[in-house]
Amino acid sequence: MKSFTVHPMESINVHPMESIIVHPTMPNNNKDIKLHIAMFPWLAFGHMIPYLELAKLIAGKGHKISFISTPRNIDRLPPLRPKLSALITFVKLPLPQNPNLPEGAEATADLPEDQVPHLKNAYDCLAQPISQFLKSTNPDWLLFDFAPYWVPEIAQTLGIPTAFFSIVIATAVTFLGPTSPEIPADDRKLPEDYVVPPKWVPFPATVALRFFEVLRLYKRITGDETNVSDLYRFMETLRGCDLIAVRSCSEFEPEWLSLLRVIHGKPVLPVGLLSNTPKADDENETWRSIKDWLDRQNKNTVVYVAFGTEAMPSQEEATEIALGLEKSGSPFFWVLRTKHGDDAVKLPEGFEERNEGRGVVCRRWAPQVKILAHDSVGVFLSHSGWSSVVEALTFGRPLVLLPMSNDQGLNARYFGEKKVGYELRRNDQDGSFTSEAVAESLRMVMEKEEGRVYRDKAQELKPLFGDWKRQNAYVDKFLEYLKTHRGCKTT
């Protein structure tokens, strides 16, 4: 894994070949142009991994990538194939010290949710080293995330075009609000304003937050004296970028991609779904033991349960999920990520003993793509995170949706509209749900006639989500735009 470290107050000495210079005398033939693209994702693995997947697809076409993050995060990313390691340079920017952050905390996965604002404050202090890096390397484009809303101003000063690369669907981004002066401004002020579709959506839609979701996100919508809000970060990012790139495709959400162009008055390009497939050579003892258990189950009978790298069920939620799995009568494989120490959630007394052999509770990382690819999996109980949904539909797995935070509620509404997944019933005011609702939802989607629509839709979308030829075409179109609109750099 090739990398170099940039220290906040140091000048950067970069090998001449680390940046791509386009000379005026070079032929203007897009086919022969090789770009240098810098990427700067937010410090969450749910963001860094999609950025890295796109980086690998771009590098696979001969273009150079500078992937920028903090040292510990880069060291935790999956290794690259040797062919790609020559084209992807990992740039390590040490995270500025913050007295409110525990030692070694460089990603959201390292922190409880209430400490993530401190990580954003530390991340904002990377503005100077990012500016130094861009000035030294002069990339053709900078792809950046929602959090560094200050990036466009820096890049514009240096003459570097920028693209906001959204790892969430266009539907969720559109809900945030318009920046085009031709569209009436967002006047939402109260929590109740967010539980209905926005006024700038001109077609019938159910995409909105539920009341308990608004309350959970409200501080991130409004901000406070210690930090700007996530909504502000998103809107300044959308306002300042030259291009909006979205992890999506026109076949899945055409009307929302079109609306995103309208409300921001700038180009919007889907880059494809960035589907993942299991690697045949990626075998280890952990997977072999999981596969052995899955092999013993009947086809389409296993309930797979996972809530991503960061979403954690509360004690009450974990209890109802556990009892619901037990009541469903189906075999289950549950990847249970919980807090450590005294706050760690506990399963109901005797649960694991009663379900020994029928169910597995895995408290460590598990190879999700390999599990979803296994024929025994019949339904996926998920938090509605886009990456997890993409992985599920790549293998035609129907979904029961239990959104927990961030964009997940908006995703769940849209997936429900599309019959991609069934959203588990819960109380609108506090988000609570019962074990009976868990069991009934799982049985309905996996076994009953009324759930056939979800099973059929998952199978219908499988060819789209697993279409690598189509994915390749999306990346080609994206790169063609970047080549045509790159800044002219001279020595």
Q: What average pLDDT is seen over the chain?
A: 90
What's 449's DSSP letter? G
Q: What 8-state DSSP symbol labels residue 348?
A: P
Q: What is the DSSP letter of 263?
A: H
For residue 32, what is the DSSP state? G
Q: Which of 381, 371, 152 is nearest to 244 (CA)?
A: 152
- Classify residue 406 by its DSSP letter: T
Res. 276 pLDDT band, cuts 50 70 90: confident
Angstrom distances, CA of residue 308 to CA of 45, 140, 146, 293: 10, 33, 20, 22
Does 20 score more than 60 pLDDT?
Answer: no
Determine if residue 16 is left, alpha or beta; phi over 0 gives left, psi from -120 to 50 gives alpha, anything else beta.
Answer: alpha
The fraction of the chain above a pLDDT of 90, given in percent, is 78
**How far is Cα 230 from Cα 236, in angstroms, rounded to an integer?**
10
DSSP category for residue 11: -
Pick the range with the lowest mean pLDDT from 105-109, 111-115, 172-176: 111-115
Helix H or strand E segment including 317: helix 315-328
Q: How do residues 238-251 score in pLDDT, each as one tens digit?
A: 999 999 999 999 99
Residues 73, 108 contacting (CB under 8 angstroms) = no
DSSP one-letter string for 37-81: EEEE--SSHHHHHHHHHHHHHHHTTT-EEEEEE-HHHHHHSPPPP
User: Going by C-beta distance under 8 Å and a sequence separation of 6 or more, which residues neighbour residue 339?
Assistant: 112, 312, 345
What is the average per-residue pLDDT within 162-173? Answer: 97
pLDDT of residue 330: 95
Distance CA(462)–CA(317), nearest Å, equals: 31
- CA–CA separation, 24 vs 429, rounded Å? 62
In this predicted structure, the answer to whether residue 455 has a pLDDT above a threshold of 70 is: yes
Same fold, 3-275+468-484 and 285-465: yes
- Residue 490 confidence class, pLDDT cut points 50, 70, 90: very low
Between CA 105 and CA 295 the distance in angstroms is 38
CA dihedral over 404, 335, 111, 49, signed as positive or negative: negative
Q: Checking DSSP bridges between strand 64-69 and strand 36-40, what pairing results, if any?
A: parallel
Cβ 419 vs Cβ 454: under 8 Å: yes
H or E segment and range at residue 36: strand 36-40
pLDDT of 230 higher than 90: yes
Q: Where are the domains of the chain?
A: 3-275+468-484, 285-465
* Beta carbons within 10 angstroms of residue 6's beta carbon: 19
Architecture of domain 285-465: 3-Layer(aba) Sandwich (3.40)
Confidence band for 15, pLDDT divided at 50, 70 and 90: very low
The arrangement of secondary structure in 3-275+468-484, i.e. its CATH architecture, is 3-Layer(aba) Sandwich (3.40)
Would you say 63 and 171 are in contact if contact means Cβ atoms under 8 Å apart? no
Residue 224 has pLDDT above 90, yes or no: no
Pair of tokens at residue 46: 């749910």
Q: What is the pLDDT of residue 11?
A: 31
Structure tokens at 295: 């092999």
Q: What is the pLDDT of residues 400-443, one digit of tens each?
A: 999 998 999 999 999 999 999 999 999 999 999 999 999 999 99
Angstrom CA distances, 430 to 197, 212, 313, 316, 322, stand at 20, 5, 14, 12, 20
